[in-house]
Amino acid sequence: MGNLTLKSVSKSFGPVEVLKGIDLEVRDGEFVIFVGPSGCGKSTLLRSIAGLEDISSGSIVIDGRDVSSTPPAKRGIAMVFQSYALYPHLTVKDNMALGLKQAGEDKAVIETRVANASNLLSLDPYLARRPAELSGGQRQRVAIGRAIVREPTLFLFDEPLSNLDAALRVQTRLEIARLHKRLKATMIYVTHDQVEAMTLADKIVVLSAGRVEQIGSPMELYNRPANLFVAGFIGSPQMNFVEAGRLGRTDAATIGVRPEHLTLSRDSGAWQGRIIHVEHLGADTIVYLESETAGLITVRLFGEHAYAVDEIVHANPDPAKIHRFDKEGRSITA
């Protein structure tokens, strides 16, 4: 089993409250990702679950057992760090086996678990190598293998792809997704990268200033953000926000439209503007225009489009995709 319950979890460093009453339910087998800007408390929350930080109040319950005061080694968790944390003088095999050896596990059990993890992660050709002889992606797979052999109740990942280049991030992301499907294990993962969150998670927890802003599936957060913060954080490029008064609307304080839910016309449309920049990305064209009506607007067009700087165009929002927010920034549902 791998159920986790957080009840009013708070954490302070002196007078600074970093976590402010976090409540969360994680079911067995779920892949849950914590996202948010730098300093929002996501890594502190993960370290608190692991027992690497003592919480100030509240409780952490794993499979019905309150582990708030339990040492990290007895919580049934395994953690994969951003920095790999491999021993340079040990081989891949010995790095993966070390924790089990220190725990006094039987040699035959260690051999079996290391062999299974190595096969699962395609590490068999590298078992005799040392970390310096591996690529960044291979080192991260070894760190993941070291966690797998422990057969933990919870897998915790603290920004594991941050040190990899773009191509390796995509490859390792796919490997982690396949690993979750094979192991059917409970995984909790911290990242600042919303693409990782949107592509990996069953459930995303959006944090800001130590509080939970919204919890939901990736598409729930994309389609039905609870407030301006979530709407602006989820989605790339960021959602466009326009003061409703500028548009003559009285049904909201702020109107939100995602760049991909706008089209451009050279003839007519809702918001006329002058193009100030164009990004040609091959699969997409990102157009930035300055509109007297709506201010600075970002439009994402699929495919290649021949728009030029200083060209006058009209942006047209999809009426069915417009988001409305009240003066407190909360979403207004239809």
DSSP 7-73: EEEEEEETTEEEEEEEEEEE-TT-EEEEE-STTSSHHHHHHHHHTSS--SEEEEEETTEE-TTS-GG
Each of the 334 residues of the chain gets a pLDDT tens digit; together they read 689 999 999 999 999 999 999 999 999 999 999 999 988 999 999 999 999 999 999 999 999 999 999 999 889 898 888 777 888 999 999 999 988 888 888 899 999 999 988 888 888 999 999 999 988 888 888 988 888 888 888 999 998 888 777 777 888 888 888 888 888 889 999 998 888 899 999 999 999 999 999 999 999 999 999 999 999 999 989 999 999 999 888 899 999 999 999 999 998 888 999 999 999 999 999 999 999 889 999 999 999 999 999 999 999 999 999 999 999 999 997 5
- Return the bridge partners of 203, or none: 32
Residue spans per domain, the chain: 4-230, 256-325
Q: And the tokens for 10?
A: 């708070």
Q: What is the pLDDT of residues 193-237, one digit of tens each?
A: 888 899 999 999 999 999 999 999 999 999 999 999 999 999 989
Q: What is the pLDDT of residues 17-28, one digit of tens each?
A: 999 999 999 999
Residue 334, pLDDT score: 55
For residue 209, the number of C-alpha atoms closer than 13 Å in the C-beta half-sphere is 2
Residue 100 CB contacts under 8 Å (≥ 6 apart), including other chains = 109, 110, 113, 114, 149, 150
CA dist 134 and 118 (Å) reads 14
CA dist 238 and 222 (Å) reads 11
CA dist 273 and 269 (Å) reads 10
For residue 218, the number of C-alpha atoms closer than 13 Å in the C-beta half-sphere is 14
User: Are β-strands 57-62 and 65-66 bridged in parallel, bridged antiparallel, or unpaired?
Assistant: antiparallel
| 262-265 β-sheet, strand order | 262-265, 312-317, 271-280, 284-291, 295-302
Give pTM, 2 decimals.
0.88
Domain spanning 256-325: which superfamily?
Answer: Nucleic acid-binding proteins (2.40.50.140)
Q: Would you say 200 and 170 are in contact if contact means Cβ atoms under 8 Å apart? A: no
CA dist 10 and 155 (Å) reads 22
Does domain 4-230 bear CATH number 3.40.50.300? yes
4-230 and 256-325: same fold? Answer: no
Exposure string over 90-120, b if 16+ CB within 10 A, otherwise e: ebbbebbbbbbeeeeeeeeebeebbeebbeb
Residue 52, pLDDT score: 93
